[in-house]
A = this chain, B = another copy of it.
Amino acid sequence: MNLSLAYLGPTGTNSETAALAYADWLKQERQQTSTLCAYPSMALVLQSVARGKVDRAVVPIENSIEGTVTIVLDTLWQADNLQVHQELTIPIFHGLLSYASSLKEIQTVYSHPQGLAQCQKWLENFLPQVQLIPTKSTTEGIKLLKEDSTAAAVSSPRAAQLYQVPLLKADIKDSSDNCTRFWIVSCDKSENGSYLSLAFSLPQNAPGALMKALEIFARREINLSKIESRPSKRSLGEYVFFIDLEGNSQAPKIKEALAELSACTEVLKIFGNYSKLDVK
């Protein structure tokens, strides 16, 4: 059976690069064919898999410079059936695409808010006076460049090739170690792998409840690699906590911790166990 993979399109985005890397891994390691399906927003990518329109989704979860992609966490929390199956990390390359012949001519720069944020120091240093205009993806602004030679887009060198637009600057990212973690999400239960992600909300008006929950892991020396607060969207100061940890939910130590956590949280959602893929 051919697998359908949803990603944030159109062609040329970093999500497509990740989806292509995953499709390649499926072919090499699982002899599995797949087809990529572009969607116009991250919410629609995740909805497409939650509603069974596609088999899997490839979604960015965190960038090394800009941090968590909050819409993905919020949608995972709201959906009841999404599980994380694999993780892959790809390097991110940002270039400046434009028909301008020099930086001096540029007045406007388009990109996805993540693209603008990941290059904010470079933009402040080299283009301090330009207007930055956020777009829905890193490639959306490219189509506007032909009409306006004072405009530029922050996008990948790969997109410059695909859309045949000149690459005025090849590498403008703020940090040499710019990369993004992607999760492969589907509706199937996910129990294999040594990484576990979960989220919980706490009973209302319970001071110290967060420390009590974290202490469950500390006591068992379970290593937490990340803690993130997201608003519960009910009331200011009420949060959903997202945790990444190392371990499998079937291991006795983790099983006990999850049972204890379940008793002291209001809602606990386990996004499943997953492995990290080594992609080239």
Contacts and interface: CB of A to CB of B under 8 A. Distances in A.
Interface stretch (A150-158, A223-231, A249-257): A223-231
Nearest to A180: B236
A274 B3 CA distance: 54
B207 A211 contact: no
A70 B70 CA distance: 11
A71 to B, nearest CB: 8
Nearest to A238: B64
Interface in A94-111: none
A52 interface: no
A24 interface: no
A233 interface: yes
Interface string A232-262: 0111110101000000000000000000000
A181 B179 CA distance: 31
Given A207-B223, A208-B223, A236 B113 contact: no
A175 interface: yes
Given A113-B113, A218-B218, A210 B227 contact: yes
Contacts of A233: 64-65, 174-175
A236 to B, nearest CB: 4
A147 interface: no
Nearest to A66: B231
Contact of A67 (B62, B179, B218, B230): B230
Give the 4 A-B residue pairs with the shortest CB-CB distance, closest first.
A64-B236, A134-B134, A211-B218, A67-B231
29 contacts: A43-B120, A63-B231, A64-B233, A64-B236, A65-B233, A66-B231, A67-B70, A67-B229, A67-B230, A68-B229, A89-B236, A113-B113, A134-B134, A175-B233, A177-B234, A177-B235, A177-B236, A210-B225, A211-B221, A214-B214, A214-B218, A215-B218, A218-B218, A225-B237, A226-B229, A226-B237, A227-B227, A227-B229, A228-B228
Given A214-B214, A215-B215, 10 more contacts: A62-B236, A64-B231, A65-B233, A134-B134, A210-B225, A210-B227, A211-B221, A214-B218, A218-B218, A226-B237
